[in-house]
Amino acid sequence: MRFAPIALLGASLVLGVGGVQAAPEDDLMAFRNFYEQRFPDTPFDDFANGIYSIDKSRREEWEQMEEFPQYEFDIDAGEELFHEPFANGKSLADCFPDYESGVRQNYPHWDRELGEVVTMEWAINRCREQHDEKPLEYYKGPLAQISAYLAFLSRGKIIDVKIPTDDPRALAAYEDGKRFYYSRRGQLNFSCASCHVGAPGMLLRAELLGPALGQVSHFPVYRKTWGEITTLHRSYAACSRQLRAAAFKAQSREYRNLEFFHTYMSNGIPFNGPGSRH
């Protein structure tokens, strides 16, 4: 199962060489190199397909699912909701003027003025609140559908998260997300990395674990087990509960920082959301 080198990789990413904090670009190169060596037959871009990039039998089943994907209805619903007028006559389109050419690839990003990480879903609700509309639920429903529509428009765009190294607050947010990813928690004492760095391609109960590389690229995701389109932060919360750990609220600072690190680690991978998963 090769847990020894995996554990060394985890330590190097969290602590850096010799206990010195590693630069984000060094983390990224170590991360890419690890997966290229672990799965040498998988093309780099294909990691966008998650577990289906490394498991042939499940890929065939997934490709059949993608012929008539359930999320098509969510894309259509998301398009209507995106253009639905607010009470003041404006719409979400006024907050995302470049949406037709794709905006999903611009998130998450560091906002210097706010001093925080801004994610796609958080930006959608911030827009609604700025126009005196109520925010939408983050896990599923209309917001997930709007996110699916915007993800669809950005298919093929390359993940390219920037970590402004001249802003110590951005570096701190990145390090916070990295620390979260590698910290063990809950009664099972697992971290995100325990499964998705330490055991991709292996079974955890009946679930086949996907690699962390490219994992964010296909969200939001229609999950057959949930029967609906769902957001990345719902998956974060579900994983926490599986570890018997308390989950943070969707779009909390903790999860936004986690998404910042998590997405940066997939730089160079094309967006291909929304996706279908079991």
Active site members: 239
Question: For the residues of 119-169, what is the DSSP string, one character each?
Answer: -HHHHHHHHHHHTT-PPPPSSBTHHHHHHHHHHHHTTTPBP-----TT-HH
**Taking phi first (over 0 means left), then psi (-120 to 50 degrees means alpha), and beta for anything else, what does residue 115 get?**
left
Per the DSSP assignment, residues forming a β-bridge with 221 are: 230, 275
Q: Which amino acid is at 36?
A: E
